[in-house]
Amino acid sequence: MYILSQHQKRGEVALHKVKHIADNFYEAEISHKKALLEYESAKSEVETAEQSLQSANKVISELPPLEEAQSKFEDIKSKWQEIFDKMNKLSKLDKDYSNIIEKQSNLETISSELNKVEVIIANLPSKEKTKEDLDKLIISLGKENEKLSKLTSLQDEYNNIVNKQNKLTFCQDEYNNLIITMKELPS
- Chunked in runs of 10, what are the mean pLDDT values of the chain (187 residues)? 72 70 83 89 89 85 71 88 92 92 93 90 83 91 94 94 95 91 80
How do the domains of the chain map onto residue ranges? 1-124, 127-187
Select the CATH number that applies to the domain covering 1-124 from these four: 1.20.120, 1.10.357, 1.20.58, 1.10.3470: 1.20.58
Provide the pLDDT for residue 146: 94
Query: What is the DSSP-derived secondary structure letter of residue 185?
Result: S
pTM: 0.32
